[in-house]
Amino acid sequence: MSKTVLVVAAHTDDEALGCGGTIARHVAEGDIVHAVFLADGVTSRHSTTPEELEQRNVAAERAHKILGISKTYMLGFPDNRMDSVPLLDIVQKLERVFDAVKPEVVYTHHCGDLNVDHRTSHNAVLTVCRPIPGASVKEIYAFEVLSATEWNTPGEAPFIPNVFVDISDYLETKMDALTEYGLEMRATPHSRSLGNVSRLAEFRGNCVGGSAAEGFVLIRNLR
């Protein structure tokens, strides 16, 4: 039986960084993957132009085609200022996406990321996914995003993965999707470089005896 998967990310490119290989594997195995983005990842920057936002949106469309994402939702909250929005407003808008998609599996940000939009996204997901009778969500996983997860204060909710997804056959697809986000990637030795993304996948894979993997923190798994 195929599953319906929803990736809840703060910004376009977070989905590819955090779980791009896992998305590609879900699709290859017959699952349907949707994605929802709470902010645009661009407009908080100094002197952002409409052209730059359009470039980011086009890059996302291309990356999602590569990964096999079926449908995306853009919620339009203020970029890198989501802590200025009442959580209830975010939750109510996100709930409408969950009601439409009815996902069984959810991937989202780690609660300890430095980026405030990431933390707010995590809190919103956990609120929407309250385990009430009849809820569709059975599994929730938190992913890591380079240049956010590892940059927070040491000891402040560290990311310690306890679920690993083998992406040996899908690492190339993940890298192809991230190449579309070229304007967001940085040159080595920056943490958010293509080389470091590949090394992290290899490290996570080697940790569990494989070639490449993505690590997640299990939030909930109802069987």
Specify the pLDDT at position 1. Answer: 83
Residue 132 pLDDT grade (very low, low, confident, very high; cuts 50, 70, 90): very high
CA 165/CA 175 separation, integer angstroms: 16
CA distance 90 to 107: 17
48 versus 147: the higher-pLDDT residue is 147
> What's the one-letter identity of residue 21?
G
Mean pLDDT score, 19-45 = 91
| Confidence class for position 120, pLDDT limits 50, 70, 90 | very high
Q: Which of 116-148 are b and which e, b meaning 16 or more Cβ less than 10 Å from the residue's Cβ?
A: ebbbbbbbbbbebbeeeeeeebbbbbbbbbbbb
List CB contacts of 205: < 8 A, sequence separation 6 or more: 164, 166, 167, 168, 211, 212, 213
The tens digit of pLDDT for each residue in 143-172 reads 999 999 999 999 889 999 999 999 999 999
What is the mean pLDDT of the segment spanning 188-194? 97
Per-domain residue ranges for the chain? 4-221
Fold of the CATH domain 4-221: Rossmann fold (3.40.50)
Mean pLDDT confidence for 17-23:
98
Torsion angle in degrees (nearest 10) through CA of 40, 191, 198, 155? -90
pLDDT for 52? 78
pLDDT band at 110 (very low <50, low <70, confident <90, very high): very high
This prediction's pTM: 0.96
